[in-house]
Amino acid sequence: MTTLTKEAGAPVPSDAGAFLSVRDLHVSFRTEDGMVRAVDGLSFDLERGKTLGIVGESGSGKSVTNLTILGLHNPKFTTVEGEILLEGRELTTAREHELEKLRGNKVAMIFQDPLTALSPYYTVGRQIAEPFMKHTGASKKAAWDRAVEMLGKVGIPNPKERAKDYPHQFSGGMRQRAMIAMALVCDPDLLIADEPTTALDVTVQAQILDLLKDLQQEFGSAIIFITHDLGVIADMADDIMVMYAGGAIERGTTNEVLRSPQHPYTWGLLNSMPRLDSDLAAPLAPIPGAPPSLLNPPSGCRFHPRCTFQDRVGGTRCTDERPLLAPDRASACHLTAEQKRTIFIEEIKPSLG
Amino acid sequence: MLRFLFRRILGSLVILVLLTVVAFLLFFGMPRDPALLMCGKTCTPDALANIHHTLGLDKSIPEQFWIFLSGLVTGRDDFAQGPCPAPCFGYSYHTNEQVWSTLMDRLPLTLSLAAGATVVFLFVGLGTGLLAAWKRGTLVDKSFTAGSMVLSSMQIYFLGPLALAILVYQTHIFDEPDYTPLTDNPAAWFTGLIIPWAVLSTIFAAQYTRMARSSMIEQLQEEHVRTARAKGMSGRYVFFRYAWRGSLIPIITILGIDLSSLLGGAIITEYTFGLPGLGRLAVESVQFSDLPLLLGVMLFAAAVILLCNIVVDACYAFIDPRVRLS
């Protein structure tokens, strides 16, 4: 069972554009206090086999976006507008049983805390075997063997025996490995990793990241990697999208976004990241203010109440007009390209060390 | 698991002995002499002393206690009424019957009442609770929730006579509740107990509806349940395999408590429907200061409670592997 299970010769729509394409996505929740606009006009594309890093503070809409891709939001309280196209297939209007066939099969997800994300009541092997049985119709025995094989692949020693263990008998890092095995058991085309290393020790973190990269090479899955840790993303992603208050505010290749960021918020993120090689006495520079309420988001540019560069734009554009993200290398900010370049080189970069 | 059971049973026995001590002391602490009750109006000091002697009340309390305890294990033949095989709780002061055989006479009714009601309230209560959780927020959910609120605030002494008035005295659909042993006539056993079962389980079922609903809704929000959905398991599978499994723990906890109190005697139900079960026996034994009977009923109820606790703990281990290992 080392061959990967997938319909043989599945058509690859190379001309249909991106593998996953999100267009003008709006997700809002109805709450007692009013409508929470968790995702507000988000668009992005992801190509097969590539890794997209999504960065942002808590509440920026990263996780909601990805739960919406899988249809895991509560439809009763959630309104979804816009398009999510997976290989040209619209997911926002797909029926539940169609999504069920997709979940864990074509699109799989890894969650942040592997202790709470694995069921305490069933063995690790069974939890890995379940989606395999469901999606491939394999027998119980074959699915169990596959689960053992997957546990071996993610580097769990003695997988035959460990498959019979329950999650609480695994260490944190091992649980996340088991979670990854579960996500990859049906060889998905898209893997959504929602802060997969946040709950882990730093040393274990590095192992898990390496594992994910190795497995991506082997399985050829595209990955959406959600994190708030820029250090992790530099290591993992081909492209980066920075999210703020439900929208993308900067997008580009990893190199571009980290070497020459163009949005004041991204500058703030970089500035607030501690570095070992910088002057230890120099204080970290957090972004002033708090993330905005999504019940009642700020007018114009969502970032303007916290932005220290507003006066460089002049006038009331920042408070009145919402800056848009241009199709490719871009940031949603009213500063001119020239201003962004000079501000970053002259004012931001020196303090990054 | 075996060691666990052994330890728990041993512990329970210790608790039972302690309970007996406490009950003994309390009884003798009472400013009331059971011999006086038996002696009647024309009581002389001689007659009283005579009764004291036949009841063994002239011995010291520790001595009486020791005789009682050893009687439980080996049986006794120092009673005027005749021999008393183990487990010997003595003879009732009031009826002069053997306590143990009185208990065993009353037990089948209590057992039937508890078992029948449990089957019905579990089936109905959990069924409606699950349905309400599955259809959360819909009219079905709201009407079940509202209905269970109303029913769980009912009392047996209200619903019982109401049911009797309507179903028995007005419409004559059913006969008056009466106990026929299951082995004598299963049909009569069933029809005789159907109203008590219905009334008892109406009140209990409402509790279980609410509990099943709320713990299911809580479980459905667990992250591991979301993971199960994220790997493509169907809504029904996730509901029954993942969420239901976790909801069982609080339900079994409450079930253990309810069952043990039902098996110890549903006092109000038995009085309401005029059924002679363990509950009535308990009340009667208190009324007549009938120490042997009181001790018997109390120890029996305590043993049932302890047994239920052991069973519940064993169930926990069965449901949740995390309990199993520690």
The pLDDT profile of chain B, 326 residues, written as one tens digit per residue, is 788 888 889 999 999 989 988 888 887 777 677 777 777 777 788 888 888 887 777 888 888 888 888 888 888 888 878 888 888 888 888 888 899 999 999 999 999 999 999 999 999 999 999 999 999 888 999 999 999 889 888 888 898 999 999 988 898 888 888 888 888 889 999 988 999 999 999 889 999 999 999 999 999 999 999 999 999 999 999 999 999 999 999 999 999 999 988 888 788 889 989 898 999 999 998 888 788 888 899 889 999 999 999 999 889 988 988 887 65
Q: Examine the pLDDT at A346 and tell me if it is beyond 80.
A: yes
Nearest C-alpha of chain B: how many angstroms from A42?
22
Inter-chain CB proximity A120 and B137 less than 8 Å: no
Which pLDDT belongs to residue B114? Answer: 93
Q: What are the pLDDT digits (tens) for A117-126? A: 999 999 999 9
Q: For residues A352 and A279, what is the distance between their CA atoms, to the nearest angstrom?
A: 10
- Structural domains of chain B, ranges and CATH numbers in brackets: 2-98 (no CATH), 100-325 (1.10.3720.10)
Tens of pLDDT, residues A286-344: 788 888 888 888 888 888 888 888 888 877 888 888 887 766 667 888 888 888 888 88
A224-241: average pLDDT: 89
* ipTM of the complex as predicted: 0.84
Q: Please judge whether A111 and B226 are an interchain contact, meaning their C-beta atoms are less than 8 angstroms apart.
A: yes
Q: A78-86 and A222-227 as β-strands: parallel, antiparallel, unpaired?
A: unpaired
Residue of B nearest to A132 (CA): B231
| Cα B180 to Cα A11, A120, B46, B106, B187, distances in angstroms | 73, 47, 45, 12, 9
- Whether residue A70 lies within 8 A of chain B, CB to CB, comes out as yes
The whole-number pLDDT of residue B205 equals 92
The per-residue DSSP string of A63-107 comes to HHHHHHHTT-S-TTTEEEEEEEEETTEE-TT--HHHHHHHBTTTE
Q: Determine the residue among A5, A73, A121, A123 to mutate to test chain B binding: the one whose Cβ has the most chain B Cβ atoms within 10 Å.
A: A121
Distance CA A58, CA B44 (A): 88
Alpha carbons A277 and B272: distance in angstroms, whole number: 82
> Residue A248 in contact with residue A61, Cβ under 8 Å?
no
Question: For residue A269, what pLDDT band results from cuts at 50, 70 and 90?
Answer: confident
- Under 8 Å CB-to-CB from B308, ≥6 apart: which residues? B256, B257, B259, B260, B263
23-62 of B, contacting A, C-beta below 8 A: none
Which among B180, B197, B198 has a CA at the least distance from the CA of B189? B180
Q: pLDDT of B248-304, one tens digit each?
A: 999 999 999 999 888 887 888 899 898 989 999 999 988 887 888 888 998 899 999
What is the model's pLDDT at position B156?
87
Given this model, what pLDDT does residue A32 score? Answer: 87
The overall average pLDDT reported for chain A is 85
pLDDT tens profile B222-255:
999 999 999 999 999 999 999 999 999 999 999 9
- Identity (one letter) of the amino acid at A131? P
- β-pairing, A190-194 vs A222-227, is parallel
Q: What is the pLDDT of residue A3?
A: 43
* DSSP string of B114-139, one letter each residue: HHHHHHHHHHHHHHHHHHHHHTTTSH
Distance from CA of A193 to the nearest CA of B (A): 12
Sequence-separated (6 or more) residues with CB below 8 Å from residue B39: B47, B48, B51
A230 in contact with B, Cβ within 8 Å: no
Say yes or no to pLDDT of A9 above 60.
no
pTM (two decimals):
0.82
Q: How far is A222 from A106, CA to CA, in rounded Å? A: 10
Say yes or no for a CB contact (<8 Å) between A108 and B230. Answer: yes
Q: CB–CB of B325 and A169 under 8 A?
A: yes
What is the Cα gyration radius of chain A?
Answer: 21
CB B206 within 8 A of CB B254: no
DSSP symbols for A235-272: HH-SEEEEEETTEEEEEEEHHHHHHS--SHHHHHHHHT
Of residues B227, B26, B190, B184, the one with CA closest to residue B115? B190
User: Within 10 A of A272 (CB to CB), how many other CB atoms are there?
Assistant: 12
What confidence tier does A1 reach under pLDDT thresholds 50, 70, 90?
very low
Sign of CA pseudo-dihedral B32, B38, B42, B46: negative
Question: How far apart are the C-alpha atoms of B7 and B251, rounded to whole Å?
Answer: 25
Q: Does residue A101 belong to the interface with chain B, where contact is any CB pair within 8 Å?
A: yes
Choosing among 3.40.30.10, 3.40.50.300, 3.40.50.10140, 3.30.930.10, the CATH entry for A20-242 is 3.40.50.300
In this prediction, residue B122 carries a pLDDT of 95
- On whether the CB atoms of residues A340 and A260 are closer than 8 A, the answer is no
Q: Which residues does chain A have within 8 Å of residue B235's beta carbon, measured at their own beta carbons? A: 96, 100
pLDDT over threshold 50, residue A223: yes
Asked whether residue A348 carries a pLDDT value surpassing 90, the answer given is: no
